[in-house]
Amino acid sequence: MNQAGTGPFAGREVGIDPALAERVLAQIDADETIGFLQALVRVPSVNPPGDVREAIRLVEEKLAAEGFATKTVGGTPEKVNLIATIEGQGAGPRLAFNAHLDVVPIGEESAWQYPPFGGEIHDGRVYGRGAGDDKASVTAQVMAAIALARSGVPFDGALIVTEVADEEIGGAAGAGFIVEGGHVEADFVIVGEQTLGQICVGERGGSPTKVTVFGATGHAATPWKGVNAIEGMARVITALREELWPILAQRTHPFLNQSTATISMIEGGVKTNVIPDRCTIHIDRRILPGETPEGVVTEIRAIAERAIAGVPGLRVETSAPIGRLAIEADPESPVSRALQAATRHIGKEVVLTGFFAGTDGKHFAKKGWPTLIMGPGDPATAHTPDEWVGIDEVIEATKLYALAALALLGRE
């Protein structure tokens, strides 16, 4: 879905007054910031089961102490979400920060050199599960919001810090819950994930698709008496590779790379001496703006049906139970210009790109709120043993969030 920036604040002037920026940046304390990140990493908030209560409590306590109005809401007692708001002095846009406090499991602990929930510092890095994904973003957003509040610099509209549960399994009880439940209303959104501080104007959608070929079973000693579903699937896979993959490679986007498909699972057959009457593949299909889950299934079904058309006794079924559209914000929307101004202000090169995977951004973009993804850390370390984030990256992101808020909400 495209947020072309047609909202009430689409034409908002953004800019950074150097003197005001100094006042805001002076309120960022590196030791306090990294100490807060370490404290969050030391709270295991593994999903599943996804209990983030203790982590949310730490964040709420921190923001409430700085004068933010806080509320927590959740679909279940364990999956609570925090919405902390500080109102500006005049009418203006509402900017929401968002990141998540749930983390993926640690895997084999023996693969870790440092304790997964130790939050230890080595060589300028904070180590631990969630250090990068996504507690570094949570930390930078919280400390940026606090810096703006402490600075006393006047601003318009509101800054809303939303830190949520459940992102790692899709966000229905997290970002999806607070948006669908009307617990947050925003004009612009910045989602924190590991982008190396680069500005992602969108992300591809996903349309996981299941294809099943049905044949007829029989004794494997007399293959002519059955219809082999695995051999039928071989035709389907070959056709997809030869017909669909090249088409997808042609579908490109300036920020979101290309449309892709990967066959990620296959299952078929029941016994070594039985002709298989069923074979299923799962296709991980990533879609660009303009593509839809319905269109994806139609396209795959047509190719699969043609591929088996010459074999009597075979039929194919396709389904795509869950899908999500790509999200795309106008690179010239005020929130994008604000992040670009922030980036230039700290002397960093502006890189506009797309996020490689899916985020909670989809839940906010559904509302038509221009939604960008930007945060500290390298996505390559996420979900791996010895996950880490650079202290310098966290401090840089804290500055970027704070300056972007100033650029967007600062008095015109």
Q: H-helix or E-strand containing 30?
A: helix 30-41
**Under rule CB under 5 A, residue 102 binds Zn ion:** no
CB closer to Zn ion, 195 vs 340: 195
User: What 3-state class would DSSP assign to 301?
Assistant: helix
Q: Does 203 bind Zn ion (CB under 5 A)?
A: no
User: Which tokens sit at 161?
Assistant: 């810090």
Answer yes or no: are the C-beta atoms of 238 and 307 closer than 8 Å.
yes
Nearer to Zn ion, 20 or 56 (CB): 56
> Residue 361 Cβ, how far from Zn ion at the closest point, in Å?
11
Q: Which stretch binds Zn ion (CB under 5 A): 111-119, 122-130, 185-193, 237-245?
A: 185-193
The piece of 83-91, 192-200, 296-304, 401-409 that touches Zn ion (CB under 5 A) is 192-200
Cα Dmax for the chain: 84
Q: Smallest distance from the beta carbon of 175 to Zn ion, in angstroms?
A: 11
Q: How far is the CB of 137 from Zn ion (least distance, A)?
A: 8
Least distance to Zn ion from the beta carbon of 25, Å? Answer: 26
Q: Quick one: 104 or 288, whose CB is closer to Zn ion?
A: 104
What whole-number distance in Å separates Cα of residue 253 and Cα of residue 264? 24
Which part of the chain contacts Zn ion (CB under 5 A), choosing from 13-21, 69-77, 127-135, 367-375?
127-135
Instruction: Name the pairing type of β-strands 371-373 and 188-191.
Output: parallel
Considering the complex, state which of residue 7 and residue 171 has its C-beta at the smaller distance from Zn ion.
171
For residue 383, count CB atoms less than 10 angstroms from its CB and return exposed for 0-12, middle for 13-18, buried for 19 or more. Answer: middle
Looking at the Cβ atoms of 296 and 382, the one nearer to Zn ion is: 382
121 forms beta bridges with 126
Number of residues that bind Zn ion (CB under 5 A): 3
SS3 state at 148: helix
Q: For residue 368, what are its two tokens?
A: 């038509």
Q: Which region among 38-46, 70-78, 132-140, 398-406 touches Zn ion (by CB under 5 A)? A: 132-140
Quickly count: other Cβ atoms within 10 Å of residue 200's Cβ. Answer: 26
As a dihedral over the C-alpha atoms of residue 147, residue 34, residue 95, residue 325, rounded to 10 degrees, the angle is 170
Decide: is 166 part of the binding site for Zn ion (CB under 5 A): no
Number of other CB atoms surrounding residue 270 within 10 Å = 11
Of the candidate spans 113-121, 181-189, 193-201, 222-230, the one that interacts with Zn ion by CB under 5 A turns out to be 193-201
Q: Which of 51, 60, 102, 134 touches Zn ion by CB under 5 A?
A: 134
Q: Is 277 in the site for Zn ion (CB under 5 A)?
A: no
Contact window for Zn ion (CB under 5 A) among 30-38, 129-137, 210-218, 273-281: 129-137
Note whether 98 and 59 are within 8 A (CB).
Answer: no
- Give residue number: closest CB to Zn ion: 134
CB of 357 to Zn ion, least distance (A): 9
CA separation for the pair 95, 70 (Å, rounded): 16
Nearer to Zn ion, 133 or 387 (CB): 133
Cβ closest to Zn ion, residue 336 vs residue 359: 359
Contact with Zn ion (CB under 5 A): which of 51, 60, 102, 133? 133
CA distance to 8, 327, 346, 362, per residue, from 5 (Å): 9, 13, 26, 16
CB of 236 to Zn ion, least distance (A): 34
- Least separation in angstroms between CB 360 and Zn ion: 8
Q: How far is the CB of 352 from Zn ion (least distance, A)?
A: 20
Q: What are phi and psi of 109, to 5 degrees?
A: -65, -30
The CB-of-208 to Zn ion minimum distance in angstroms stands at: 19
Strand partners, 156: 90
Q: Round to the nearest angstrom and report the end-to-end CA distance of the chain.
A: 29
- The nearer residue to Zn ion, 98 or 333, going by C-beta atoms, is 98
Give the separation between CA 236 and CA 231, rounded to whole angstroms.
Answer: 9
Q: How far is the CB of 384 from Zn ion (least distance, A)?
A: 13
Binding residues for Zn ion (CB under 5 A):
133-134, 193
